[in-house]
Structure 1
Amino acid sequence: MNHIKFVVAGALALLGVMVIGGYFADPAPKATDQESAAAGGTLRIGVDGTEPAYYKVDGVTKGFDYEMALGVAEGMGAKPEFVVMDFSELFTALEAGEIDMIGAQVTETAERKQDFDFTAPYFVTYLSFLTPESSTIQKRSDIDGKNIAVVEGTIHERYLNEQYDNVNVIKAKDEDSAVKAIQDGKADAFFYDAPYTAPIRERSPIPLKEAIVYPADDAPIGFVMQKGDPRKDQVDDVLAQMILDGEWLKIKKEYFKEYPLSDVFKDKGV
């Protein structure tokens, strides 16, 4: 009888430990913390719905980042789910676990790498100078000594100061204000990311041309993931395979055929 009491008492004590331990234990990891994508799970990709990264034509989804993310998900055996939001909301959503990865032409910087992991690059930043059609600016050396408009708060001002001599930076609040500076004769050119200049030229009140386009090999673009996400290695492996088997180049030619090939991808065997 005493033996039974001890067994029951011991069982109740163990149950109490389990309940208390379960109460104070760390919560179960979220699905986004697992390598579920490799086992056919869902990979949620945050995008900002901007051409040429992710957009729709007659109801058909297109975009360079869209097709690259599709290739990554397929290579991982995952089901892609695209979540469209403003660019400013993407990093907060990633931190909160609402998305698993950002695919929105995000340039890798030292500041961003402090808080997030970047995959291997799947593109590089391409920079351009928009000028009036009558401008004599034709090559990068022509920029020295000129008045160049940039959107305030972007990295373009730093690039100008680092890569060019004797450039007068004209800060504008947005793209249209930069074009207005050219129209008013205050700026000779507008320095911006090349992939996003087409709509600017279309709505410009004056005829503009993309006088210079070149890759910034020190500004790689990668998918952004939470720190320590084990799926990053899988993404890197798939990206390497997409580059080696020619899929990356096929997608690049579809959206950026006119852009010169970056040395970053020449070094990878493209």
Structure 2
Amino acid sequence: MNQIKYVVAGAMALLLAMVIGGYFADPAPKATDKESAAAGGTLRIGVDGTEPAFYKVDGVAKGFDYEMALGVAEGLGSKPEFVVMDFSDLFTALQAGEIDMIGAQVTETAERKKDFDFTAPYFVTYLSFLTPENSTIKKRDDINGKNIAVVEGTIHERYLTEQYENVNVVKAPDEDSAVKAIETGKADAFFYDAPYTAPIISRAPIPLKEAIVYPADDAPIGFVIKKGDERKKAMDDVLEQMILNGDWLKIKKEYFKEYPLSDVFKDKGV
């Protein structure tokens, strides 16, 4: 009889321990936790909805940055969620925790790195000169001594003064104003990011061509994340694997087939 009491008492004690242990155990990670996002949670990617980074054709999402971001999410075991907003709002949204990562052809600069972290590069900035179709500008040496339009406040103004001699910088408030400067004879060419010139050419009031395109190897493009995000190394590893296994080159050829390969990726064995 006493043995039965001891058995019952022991069982009750074990049950009580299990209940208490379960009650005070750490809860399962939420989908918004960093640990969860790296192992099955949602990765919210901020994009600005601009071709060729992220756009839609008949309701189907496409884009270079879109496909690279999909690869990162898959490598992390996360569910990708794309959030479209104006480019100027992306960094504020990242700081506020509304998104986890920016994928919008963002060039890594010393100024931006003060407030944000960048993943390993998945592209570099490609620069181009738009000129009238009958322009004598054929190569980069032809730029010296010319009047070149830029959108004021962009990185292009600095590049012009650093890389070219005797260039007269014509500042414009926006792309269409820069084209207007060419139309009125105030500028010989428009210096801009190559991936975004197609819509400018299509809506220009005068025939334009992309006379020169070249990679700026010292201007890498990476995904932007919050300072100290613990997923950075995992993201870098995924990007490296995409480059080494050929996925990156396949995506690059789909969207930027005509662009010369940057030394940044030649050095990685592409």
**TM > 0.5:** yes
Amino acid at match of 2:260: P
> How far is the alpha carbon of 1:30 from its aligned partner?
8.4
> How far is the alpha carbon of 1:38 from its aligned partner?
2.4
Q: Work out whether 1:49 is the aligned partner of 2:49.
A: yes
Query: Which TM-score applies when normalising by structure 1?
Result: 0.88
- Indicate the residue corresponding to 2:262 in structure 1: 262
- Indicate the residue corresponding to 1:40 in structure 2: 40
In structure 1, distance between residues paired with 2:68 and 2:155: 25
In structure 2, distance between residues paired with 1:209 and 1:259: 15
In structure 1, distance between residues paired with 2:140 and 2:178: 19
Which SS does the other structure have where 2:38 is aligned?
Answer: helix
CA contact (8 A) 2:32 2:42 kept: no
- Indicate the residue corresponding to 1:154 in structure 2: 154
Amino acid at match of 1:149: A
In structure 2, distance between residues paired with 1:254 and 1:49: 18
- Indicate the residue corresponding to 2:189 in structure 1: 189
Any gaps of 5 or more consecutive residues in structure 2?
1-28
CA contact (8 A) 1:55 1:61 kept: yes
Q: Work out whether 1:100 is the aligned partner of 2:117.
A: no
Q: Supply the RMSD in Å over aligned alpha carbons.
A: 1.1
Query: Which TM-score applies when normalising by structure 2?
Result: 0.88
Q: Work out whether 1:165 is the aligned partner of 2:144.
A: no
In structure 2, distance between residues paired with 1:254 and 1:188: 31
CA contact (8 A) 1:149 1:171 kept: yes
- Indicate the residue corresponding to 2:8 in structure 1: none
In structure 2, distance between residues paired with 1:226 and 1:52: 24
In structure 1, distance between residues paired with 2:32 and 2:158: 36
Distance 1:30 1:179, change over 3 A: farther
Superposed, 1:92-241 pairs within 5 Å as 92-241=92-241
Superposed, 1:67-82 pairs within 5 Å as 67-82=67-82
Identity %: 88
Deviation beyond 2 Å, 4+ runs, structure 1: 29-33
- For residues 67-119 of structure 1, the C-alpha deviation after alignment (integer angstroms, 9 at most, x for no partner) is 00001101111100000000010000000100000000000000100100000
Any gaps of 5 or more consecutive residues in structure 1?
1-28
CA contact (8 A) 2:30 2:36 kept: no
CA contact (8 A) 2:31 2:42 kept: no
Amino acid at match of 1:142: D
Which SS does the other structure have where 1:39 is aligned?
Answer: coil
Number of residues paired by the alignment? 242
In structure 1, distance between residues paired with 2:148 and 2:240: 37
